[in-house]
């Protein structure tokens, strides 16, 4: 798997819990990117068709006359509810995914391009149309996304064993990392304690010193940034996710070689 394919897979992993009904299609689409681009394009088309059908039923309060991608995308009344940047991606997915089934030659770059557009569409969809992922306009509303499975897969030997959940939590004006740990009291009692850390102290390192995890971004984008772009040195400096032994090894490697080692 190339670095770009891995980045796409990480974004899908952050999304999958919110669109569980599409999980098998998403895994197939990403799995076929290089080995069978035509099949990947077909899976992406199926996903878009299902998302469009859900959106149509929700916004139009009825079934489409024909549940076909082209017909729904051509419905001006329906499409008026969808931002133009998202509609443009939907049309691009439709155009490209039509090539494989009609015998046209396609390769992995075509499938990757469509996958990028599809993930953008899904990230928009879960934030604006998935109730559990929406943030109301008041200061008390919260949304959260579980990222522990992805972190456990990426850092199987680094994470503290008592951690049972890691969630990215977001409001209209703040982002937190919520870590839950378990403590066994006796044979039948296990207490859990959750701690939320405000992430506003982490800067992007750019000239304007913006925060790395900003509430202006969607929760899926922020979760993806934490999983894929926040390196191990940043993790040991900003969180207590890793064991003391792991943090010590990472710090020693950084001090000796001046490079980040992600190997777990």
Q: What's this model's pTM, rounded to 2 decimal places?
A: 0.58
Phi and psi angles of residue 172, each rounded to the nearest 5 degrees, phi first: -65, -20
Q: What is the pLDDT of residues 75-118, one digit of tens each?
A: 999 999 899 999 999 999 999 988 866 677 899 999 999 999 99
Q: How many CA atoms does the CB half-sphere of 92 hold within 13 Å? A: 18
Tokens 């982490």 map to which residue? 202
pLDDT higher than 70, residue 133: no
> How many CB atoms within 10 Å of residue 201?
9
Summarised one tens digit per residue, pLDDT across range 162-184 is 999 999 999 888 999 999 999 98
Of the candidates 187, 166, 185, 163, which has an alpha carbon nearest to the alpha carbon of residue 177?
A: 166
Burial annotation 218-243 (CB, 10 A radius, 16+ → b, else e):
bbbbbbbbbbbebebbebbeebbbbb
Q: Is the pLDDT of residue 128 over 90?
A: no
The packing angle between helices 108-129 and 84-97, to 10°, is 140
Contact 117, 89 (CB under 8 A): yes
Q: What's the whole-number average pLDDT of the chain?
A: 86
For 189, the token pair is 């009692």
The DSSP output letter for 213 is S
Rg of the chain over CA atoms, in angstroms? 21
How large a percentage of the chain has pLDDT more than 70? 90
Judge whether 148 and 241 are in contact, CB under 8 Å: no
Domains belonging to the chain, first-starting first, are 3-133 (1.20.120), 143-257 (no CATH)
Contact 182, 190 (CB under 8 A): yes
As given in the structure block, the two tokens for residue 160 are 């503290």
**Least confident window among 14-18, 38-42, 198-202:** 14-18
The whole-angstrom separation of Cα 84 and Cα 66 is 23
Give the angle 100-108-28 at the CA atoms, nearest 5°.
Answer: 75
CA angle 242, 245, 247 (to 5 degrees): 50
Instruction: Let me know: does 230 contact 204? Beta carbons within 8 Å.
Output: no
Q: Which of 11-15, 44-48, 53-57, 138-142 has the lowest mean pLDDT?
A: 138-142
CA distance 213 to 224: 10
Is the pLDDT confidence value at 134 over 60? no
């Amino acid at each position: 798997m190339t670095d770009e394919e891995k980045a796409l897979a990480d974004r899908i992993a952050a999304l999958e819990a919110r669109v569980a009904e599409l999980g098998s299609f998403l895994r197939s689409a990403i799995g076929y990117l290089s080995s069978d681009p035509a099949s990947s394009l077909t899976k992406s088309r199926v996903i878009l068709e299902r998302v469009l059908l859900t959106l149509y039923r929700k916004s139009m309060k009825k079934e489409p006359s024909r549940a076909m991608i082209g017909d729904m995308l051509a419905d001006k009344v329906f499409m008026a509810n969808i931002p133009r940047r998202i509609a443009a991606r939907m049309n691009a997915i439709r155009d490209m995914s039509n090539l494989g089934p009609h015998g046209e030659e396609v390769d992995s770059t075509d499938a990757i391009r469509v996958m990028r557009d599809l993930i953008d569409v899904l990230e928009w969809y879960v934030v604006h149309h998935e109730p559990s992922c929406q943030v109301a306009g008041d200061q008390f509303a919260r949304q959260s996304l579980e990222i522990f499975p992805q972190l456990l897969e990426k850092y199987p030997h680094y994470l503290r064993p008592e951690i049972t959940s890691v969630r990215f939590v977001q409001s209209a004006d703040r982002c937190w990392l919520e870590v839950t740990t378990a403590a066994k009291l006796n044979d039948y009692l296990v207490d859990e304690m959750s701690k939320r850390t405000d992430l506003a102290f982490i800067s992007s390192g750019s000239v304007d010193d913006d925060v790395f995890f900003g509430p202006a971004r969607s929760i899926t984008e922020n979760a993806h940034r934490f999983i894929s772009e926040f390196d191990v040195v940043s993790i040991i400096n900003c969180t207590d996710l890793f064991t003391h032994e792991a943090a010590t090894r990472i710090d020693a490697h950084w001090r000796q070689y001046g490079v980040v080692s992600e190997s777990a």
